[in-house]
Chain A
Amino acid sequence: MPHDHAEPHSLLPSDPELRARALETILVEKGLVDPEALNALIDTYQNKIGPQNGARVVAKSWVDPAFKARLLSDATSAIAELGYMGRQGEHMVAVENTPEQHNIVVCTLCSCYPWPVLGIPPAWYKSDAYRSRAVREPRAVLAEFGVSLLETQKVRVWDSTAEMRYLVLPMRPEGTEGLEEDTLVDLVSRNSMIGTALAGAAA
C-alpha cells in the first residue's frame, strides 16, 4: 500500500521481511555492517543473555545475605560480580518485594528493560496494553497475570523513564528454606523479576 508521506522508511518494501532484507543488503554492501556480526548479535540475545542471568542474581540474594545487602545498596556492582553488565543495564536498581510492598516494572514510553539480566523484553512487555495499563490499573493487570497480592501489600509501579533499570526481587517461596542456590534458580521466572508473577510459579 502506498504511503502518503515522504519519510525515507516508506521507500523500503512494506513487507517487513523484505524490509529487513533490504536494510541488511544495503548496509552490508556499503561496508557498514558485518554480516557475521549480525549473526553474533542474534546468538547473544537468543542464547547467551536472558532471564537465567537474573534468576541467578535473585537466587543468590536469597541464600547470601551479604550479597543481598550489596544488591540493594548498589545493584550495578553486585550484578557485575556475576559477570552481568553492559547494554541496557548500565544503571541497575534492585527493588525488593515484601509483605508490605509489591513492585512491578514497565516502560510506558517505549520498552526499556534490563537486558543483561533479563535479555530481550517479551512481546507482552512491549505491548500497548501493558504500557498503557500497568501505571493506571496495576492491580487489574496483576490479576490478569494470576498474581494474588497480600492484603498488606501496596503496589509500587516503576516506570522506566531514564537509563535506570529495575530488577524486582521476588519473595522467596515458603518451604524452600533447605534448598540450594542452584535449585532455587529454577523457581525464579522471568515474569517474577518484572513483578508480574510470584517466584515459584510457572513462566
Chain B
Amino acid sequence: MSRIHDMGGRFGDGAIPDKEDSTPFHKPWHAKAMAVTLASGALGAWSIDSSRHARERLAPKDYASFSYYEKWMAAAANLLVERGMVSSEELKTGHAEHIEGLSPKALRSDDVFAAMHKVNPYTRRTGPEALFAVGDKVRTASYNPNPVKGGHTRLPAYAMGRVGTIVRQQGNHVLPDSNAHLNGEAPEPLYAVEFTASELWHQDAENGGDTMLLDLWQSYLEPAK
C-alpha cells in the first residue's frame, strides 16, 4: 500500500501557495535545518534513497503536520540514531554526552562549494541489459514493486498498473527500492515512460491527450501490447 508522501492525483489540497515567492529560506532555522541535513548526509552514513525513505516513513500525522524542513530534521534525527551516530539521550538533552574534536569525516567549510559541485552519478556500468527500446509499450506493476513490506519505491500509486510508452532510455541507475534498505545498489535500466492522461486518470482526466512522464526502473515494467 502507499504511504502519505505518495500524493500525485490526490484531491482536496486547494490552491497553490505563494507562486511568485523567491526566498530560498523564510526563517533562519529553515536554512539551518537544510545545512545540518546536508552536513550530516556528507558523513556518508546514508544514501539519498535512505534519506528519502526516512522522510516517507514518518508517522502520517507528523508528515502531514510538519513543515518541509521539520520533515528533514525529523528524518535526520531518526537516521542519526538508527545509524548509532547520536543517542536518544543526546536528542533528549540537546547536548553531546562527550565533547569531541572535529571528525576527519566532517565536511569542512572550505570544501563546501566543491562538494556541492562534485558530480556523483547514479548511473552504473553493471546490471542487466535493457529489455525495452524507445517506442515499446509497457505496463507498470499493479502493486508496490518493492519486496520489502511497506518499502521505498519510486513508482507512484497513480501510475501503478498502467500502460505507457518508452520515450527515453536513461542507462542503468541505482535502484532506490534496494538501496534505501541497504540491500545494495542493484542498478538496472531506467526509462522515461509516457502515459496519456486518459490512461492514468480515466474519467478524472482533465484533457485525455495530455501526457505525464515518469522515470521508471525496468523491474517496475513488463511488456504490454
Which of A27-35, A56-64, A167-175, A176-184 binds B? A27-35
Any chain B CB within 8 A of the CB of A25? yes
Q: Are A27 and B40 in touch, CB under 8 angstroms?
A: yes
Enumerate chain A residues within 8 angstroms of B78, measured Cβ to Cβ. Answer: 7-9
Enumerate chain A residues within 8 angstroms of B86, measured Cβ to Cβ. Answer: 26-27, 30
Which one, B7, B29, B111, B194, contacts A17 given CB within 8 A?
B29
Any chain A CB within 8 A of the CB of B148? no
Enumerate chain A residues within 8 angstroms of B22, measured Cβ to Cβ. Answer: 51, 122, 190, 203
CB closest residue in chain B, given A138: B210
User: Taking the nearest CB of chain B, how far is it from the CB of A72, in angstroms?
Assistant: 12
Q: A34-B107, A90-B120, A116-B117 are in contact. Are A133 and B102 (CB under 8 A)?
A: no
Any chain A CB within 8 A of the CB of B147? no
CB closest residue in chain B, given A107: B8
User: Taking the nearest CB of chain B, how far is it from the CB of A67, in angstroms?
Assistant: 20
Cα distance, A138 to B77, chains bound together (Å): 36
Which one, B69, B82, B108, B170, contacts A34 given CB within 8 A?
B108
Any chain B CB within 8 A of the CB of A98? no
Number of interface residues of B (CB under 8 A): 113
Q: Are B173 and A162 in touch, CB under 8 angstroms?
A: yes
Add 6 more A-B contacts to A91-B170, A155-B207, A157-B213 (CB < 8 A). Answer: A9-B91, A23-B76, A87-B120, A133-B16, A135-B212, A162-B176
User: Taking the nearest CB of chain A, how far is it from the CB of B14, in angstroms?
Assistant: 5
Cα distance, A127 to B7, chains bound together (Å): 11
Residues of A111-167 whose CB lies within 8 A of B: 111, 115-116, 119-120, 122-124, 126-133, 135-141, 144-145, 154-164
Cα distance, A160 to B154, chains bound together (Å): 9
Q: Are B109 and A33 in touch, CB under 8 angstroms?
A: no
Cα distance, A124 to B91, chains bound together (Å): 31
Q: Are A161 and B215 in touch, CB under 8 angstroms?
A: yes
29 contacts between A and B (CB under 8 A): A3-B62, A9-B77, A11-B92, A12-B77, A16-B70, A20-B29, A22-B91, A23-B36, A26-B86, A26-B94, A26-B95, A30-B86, A32-B39, A33-B36, A37-B106, A42-B32, A46-B24, A87-B115, A91-B122, A108-B158, A123-B68, A132-B13, A135-B158, A155-B211, A157-B211, A161-B154, A161-B156, A162-B217, A164-B170
